Structure 1
């Protein structure tokens, strides 16, 4: 009787071993793959967290680093403190141009058919131009189209930027809408005669 029990146990062991050899242990393989995936995710999260902390620390250090007040360069003797705040507007979906409102002044004709102007940005609040605090300079082709009305003595017309340099030499007086294309280039200036200014 003991021999029969022993024989039954051996046959059961052989059958189990044969089944395991013939059919892969799907559940064990799935579990092992899941464990590997979880380990990779944990490692990725840990390394991503370390990179984020390092980026924050380096960025913070660059903001508080001494010696940020540099002398003005020879090319720009009067740099604007807010020049870095300027971002060229981008056209909305389906639009060809995006406009920036602002005083255009301090025009200077440069060699090579270019004109440098200063722009003091305004925002339109119910038909009134309100300064945003952003001042930047642009160097434009002298042939940039300019639509004028008051600047030309009340006669609406189309001129080129080189034709109005003398009138835009002084300080902030004339407000224009500057039309930017999708690549951040000014395509034209339009006198904002419809806008009253604070």
Structure 2
């Protein structure tokens, strides 16, 4: 006799769901956590693989040049690298701008002026500057270890030789030198 009410199907579904809930809850949670751990491990392995691959690619590209560099021509090899000196300009609201550099080869010129060579520490650019002998110079070691203000004309003899002292050279807005300050003194006082 065929059951037309569907009671057999309903009972089969009920039996299947009963079996599912008959399994202890802890076992189902353990399986779920295990699956989560397995997925996280796979994700980590995949991301580590991508990172290692990218690092290797960057390393190889940095070691191997993508395109050969053109050979240096004789004109390039003999032409000196000349950097043009540009005096620093004061920042808005500032009276002076400074550059750090060696000051040397001082020569007393006629008309109460002194010509010195300044070699910028940052760029290595060397330029000649002519200043009045009355230009203020703040010194410490150049003057024997005692901090004093001197006039440039008094230091010509000490600054006549090659580069020994680093100075901060202060420029006004028009590119003129207003003062020199021994840099060592600036950093320790």
Q: TM-score range by the shorter chain?
A: 0.5 to 0.7
Cα distance, 1:85 vs structure 2 = 1.5
In 2: Cα distance, 1:105 partner to 1:115 partner = 11
Unaligned runs of 5+ in 2: 1-74
Q: Secondary structure at the match of 2:142?
A: helix
In the superposition, the TM-score normalised over structure 1's length comes to 0.52
Secondary structure of 1:162 counterpart = helix
Whose Rg is larger? 2
- Contact 2:139–2:149 (8 Å) recurs in 1: yes
Structure 1 residues without counterparts, runs of 5 or longer = 1-65, 70-79, 124-131
**What does 1:18-167 align with in structure 2 at a 5 Å threshold?**
82=82, 85-123=84-122, 132-167=123-158
| Superposition CA RMSD, Å | 2.1
- Which string of whole-angstrom CA distances, capped at 9 and with x for unpartnered residues, describes residues 104-154 of structure 1? 00000000000000001013xxxxxxxx22010100111100000000111
User: Which segments of structure 1 move beyond 2 Å, counting only runs of 4 or more?
Assistant: none
146 and 81 in structure 1: CA distance in 2 versus 1, 3 angstrom threshold: farther
Matched pairs, number: 110
CA-CA distance at 1:194 after TM superposition: 4.9
SS of the residue corresponding to residue 151 of structure 1 reads: coil
